[in-house]
């Protein structure tokens, strides 16, 4: 399952990206610092200068005026032609100086192409800050119902006990009710979940009864909540929604059905 499909979205805003904000970004006093910071984050030991420029476009956001650079339409109509307009830069050395100079040229070309063919982007922002878990934990009735539902979905032995190997699966079942993405949908969340689940790995008993199982699951949710309260995770989802229409307005709110 792709991340866009797996994550619950907030309200979607339709953006018309026409190159103006991208040009403004390129003229910002912090532009060079921002771009060189992106350059330092790109790990392509054998990459060409063109590879670095492409990766830099991928790291730009709609807030900076860049549509999703890996989208096939954007690659074919915007980024690809812009890179071709640079000529053969593959033989140039990959350095701060050459990257910055060529990226400036590339961003101007991308902005011009967006002016000619604006991109229509569906944009949504989702923040995981622990509030959904807190609401679930504070509602004892809902928490009890949710934990029981998770228990019904995991195997038990003849004594009604549950192996600790099913903790992760039970947490997967709880994810939606706790306002969390499915496991494997978001790396940052998976790292937090893995850390929280370590308490299960350290648990002395391989088998636990239902009440212990629910207690441990609740403790894991509390641990994840504390992590997210301290370090919220924001996810931006962007996708080209249709063939760009130059008559579209700058920002459109989706109409009610």
239-248 pLDDT, tens per residue? 888 654 444 3
Mean pLDDT of the chain: 84
Determine if the pTM surpasses 0.75. Answer: no
Tell me the percentage of the chain whose pLDDT exceeds 90. Answer: 47
Helix axes 167-175, 210-230, angle to 10 degrees: 60
Mind listing the pLDDT tens digit for each residue in 107-155?
A: 999 999 999 999 999 988 888 999 999 999 999 999 999 999 998 888 8
pLDDT for position 256: 35
Question: Which tens digits make up the pLDDT trace of 171-216?
Answer: 889 888 998 888 887 888 889 988 888 866 666 667 888 898 899 8
* Domain boundaries defined on the chain: 12-124+239-252, 130-230
9 has pLDDT over 90: no
Q: State the pLDDT confidence band at 3, using cuts at 50, 70 and 90.
A: very low
User: What confidence score (pLDDT) does residue 200 get?
Assistant: 65
């Amino acid at each position: 399952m792709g991340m866009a499909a797996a994550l619950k979205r907030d309200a979607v805003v339709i953006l018309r990206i026409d190159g103006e904000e991208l040009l403004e970004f390129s003229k910002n006093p912090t532009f060079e610092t921002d771009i060189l910071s992106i350059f330092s984050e790109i790990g392509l030991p054998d990459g060409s200068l063109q590879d670095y420029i492409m990766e830099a476009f991928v790291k730009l956001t709609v807030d900076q005026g860049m549509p999703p650079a890996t989208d096939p339409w954007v690659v074919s109509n915007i980024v690809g032609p812009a890179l071709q307009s640079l000529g053969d830069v593959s033989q140039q050395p990959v350095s701060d100086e050459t990257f910055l100079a060529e990226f400036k040229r590339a961003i101007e070309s991308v902005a011009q192409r967006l002016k000619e063919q604006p991109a229509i982007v569906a944009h949504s922002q989702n923040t995981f800050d622990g509030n959904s878990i807190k609401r679930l934990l504070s509602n004892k009735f809902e928490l009890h119902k949710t934990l029981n539902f998770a228990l019904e979905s995991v195997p038990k032995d003849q004594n009604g006990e549950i192996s600790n190997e099913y903790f992760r699966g039970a947490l997967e079942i709880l994810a939606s009710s706790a306002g969390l993405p499915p496991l494997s949908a978001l790396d940052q969340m998976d790292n937090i979940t893995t850390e929280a689940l370590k308490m299960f790995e350290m648990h002395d008993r391989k088998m636990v009864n239902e009440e212990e199982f629910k207690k441990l699951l609740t403790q894991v949710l509390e641990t994840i909540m504390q992590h997210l309260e301290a370090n919220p995770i924001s996810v931006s989802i962007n996708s080209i929604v249709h063939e760009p229409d130059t008559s579209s307005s700058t920002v459109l709110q989706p109409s009610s059905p």
